[in-house]
Amino acid sequence: MTQDIPLNSLGLPKAPADTRVVVAMSGGVDSSAVAAMLAEQGYDVVGVTLQLYDHGAALAKKGACCAGQDIHDARRVAEAMGFPHYVLDYENTFREAVIEEFADAYLAGATPVPCIRCNERVKFKDLLETARDLEADCMATGHYIQRKIGARGPELHCAADANRDQSYFLFSTTPEQLEFLRFPLGHLASKAETRALAAKYGLAVADKPDSQDICFVPNGSYASVIEKLRPGAADPGEIVDLAGNVLGQHSGVIHYTIGQRRGLGIGGLGDPLYVVRLDPDNRRVIVGPKEALSTRIVPVREINWLGDTPFTTQPEWHVSVRIRSTRPPREAILRPLSATEAEVELLTPEEGVSPGQACVFYETGGTRILGGGWIWKGR
């Protein structure tokens, strides 16, 4: 009788040497530590880096990923640990799938999250297919999130370190992708442990700074990137109150986001005013008191559902939701309208809910991510 083959550390019934793992390497300390750790454990590691953009300034930018110096850093890690490394040119794909939509969404008055689209449309789609073409058994990344096996298969869970958790940016991971993906850092208690791993393997990136902001914005100015991509996008217009009274002028809707208070240039009006809505068609920025930002009902579409039963099998789901990456989950009632659309009722109203942001669903009182979708229209 054949004995069951024990599972290796990646949950596969093979010896590490017989297990090919493609590691998505951005050139940062997280993915580098993952690649080095798996290589040291004896896995058949193949490092792959996607060159996503090259803005010139990005070549020397600190804290970026997937361009310039970062590609060289990834290659050096592969050389040091003795595994093959490939660089794939995905600039055109990245521009079409991520950057162009980012520009259009910003011009439409939304506040997009391109990092989610990059994971969804490039890293966990095209790169994952490349991993399969390389006959890999799985693909590993340096994301801080956990993959756990539940009663019905793989589940997505928050990272052990709440300060590093990246669940907001990975809600669109599908069940099929989750079967193939591995996240070896998700259980670590802190980023310090990751840096210690990198130092243990003698990696030059052990003290490399974390990536900051959006990778294709070299100087941190979203508006300058939009103006470059969409000439004329910074046309001036009016700042008006909720009644339509003109309070001032602005230098382009793209310079404003919902919830913004500072930099409006309309001081001396008594109570503080906030951006409560953007009207790009009429080139207007609408401002109002803080209470005008309060939202209870949030429409969501393009839903990716990770629950155990189909999304529409219940009229309501009692969950917790996160409407911005920097905010904690809050209790809500999720009402499906179709397999991909829903209405979210926040039990406690939130301020600054913005179209273009993600609304991510969590198990209340637990760590499991149940999916999420995109906030698609304003208040």
Is pLDDT of 2 > 50? no
In a domain, 225, yes or no: no
Do both 36 and 77 map to the same domain? yes
In a domain, 5, yes or no: no
Do both 367 and 251 map to the same domain? no
Kindly report, residue by residue over 160-200, the tens digit of the pLDDT.
Answer: 999 999 999 999 999 999 999 999 999 999 999 999 999 99
In the structure, what pLDDT confidence band is assigned to residue 1 with cuts at 50, 70 and 90? very low
Which of 174-178, 212-216, 225-229 shows the lowest per-residue confidence on average (mean pLDDT)?
Answer: 212-216
Reduced to 3 states (helix: H, G, I; strand: E, B; else coil), residue 360 is strand
Do both 62 and 133 map to the same domain? yes
In a domain, 307, yes or no: yes
pLDDT at residue 67, rounded to an integer: 56
Domain with 370 in it: what CATH number? 2.40.30.10
Do both 362 and 240 map to the same domain? no
Reduced to 3 states (helix: H, G, I; strand: E, B; else coil), residue 362 is strand
Domain containing residue 299 = 294-375
Q: Is 26 annotated as a binding-site member?
A: yes
Q: Which residues contact 52 (CB under 8 A, 6 or more apart)?
A: 66, 67, 90, 91, 94, 98, 118, 122, 215, 216
Which domain-ending residue is among 242, 264, 288? 288
Kindly report, residue by residue over 148-158, the tens digit of the pLDDT.
Answer: 999 999 999 99
Q: Is 378 annotated as a binding-site member?
A: no
Q: How far is CA 79 from the centre of its chain?
A: 29
Do both 128 and 271 map to the same domain? no
Catalytic residue among 65, 66, 115, 118: 118
pLDDT at residue 257, rounded to an integer: 84
Which domain-ending residue is among 256, 288, 320? 288
Q: Is 50 annotated as a binding-site member?
A: yes
Mean pLDDT of the chain: 90
Q: Is 337 annotated as a binding-site member?
A: no
Do both 104 and 162 map to the same domain? yes
In a domain, 342, yes or no: yes
Tally of structural domains, the chain = 3
Tell me if residue 359 is catalytic: no
Instruction: With beta carbons less than 8 A apart as the criterion, state whether 156 and 173 touch.
Output: yes
Is pLDDT of 288 > 80? yes
Q: Is 24 annotated as a binding-site member?
A: yes
Mean local confidence (pLDDT), 205-226 = 78
Tell me if residue 215 is catalytic: yes
The pTM assigned to this predicted structure is 0.90
Is pLDDT of 106 > 90? no
Rounded-to-integer distance, Cα 191 and Cα 185, Å: 9
In a domain, 277, yes or no: yes
Q: Is 221 annotated as a binding-site member?
A: no
Diameter over CA atoms, the chain: 84
Is pLDDT of 130 > 80? yes
| Helix 29-40 and helix 191-200, axial crossing angle in degrees, nearest 10 | 50
pLDDT at residue 379, rounded to an integer: 43
Domain with 78 in it: what CATH number? 3.40.50.620
Domain with 270 in it: what CATH number? 2.30.30.280
Do both 163 and 33 map to the same domain? yes
Do both 42 and 143 map to the same domain? yes
Catalytic residue among 65, 138, 158, 215: 215
Rounded-to-integer distance, Cα 307 and Cα 310, Å: 7
Mean local confidence (pLDDT), 288-302 = 93
Following CA atoms 95, 98, 99, 104 in sequence, which dihedral angle do they give, to the nearest 10 degrees?
Answer: 130
In the structure, what pLDDT confidence band is assigned to residue 66 with cuts at 50, 70 and 90? low
In a domain, 207, yes or no: no
DSSP string, 145-199: EEEEEETTEEEEEE-SSTTT--GGGSTT--HHHHHHEE-TTTT-S-HHHHHHHHH
Do both 283 and 358 map to the same domain? no
In the structure, what pLDDT confidence band is assigned to residue 218 with cuts at 50, 70 and 90? low
Is pLDDT of 302 > 90? yes
In a domain, 221, yes or no: no
Do both 263 and 331 map to the same domain? no
* Residue whose structure tokens are 């997009």: 112
Do both 260 and 305 map to the same domain? no
Do both 335 and 187 map to the same domain? no
Is pLDDT of 159 > 50? yes
Is pLDDT of 273 > 80? yes
Q: Is 210 annotated as a binding-site member?
A: no
In the structure, what pLDDT confidence band is assigned to residue 25 with cuts at 50, 70 and 90? very high
Regarding beta strands 330-336 and 342-351, do their DSSP bridges make them parallel or antiparallel, or are they unpaired? antiparallel
Which domain-ending residue is among 257, 288, 319? 288
pLDDT at residue 197, rounded to an integer: 95
Rounded-to-integer distance, Cα 5 and Cα 379, Å: 55
The residue type at 244: G
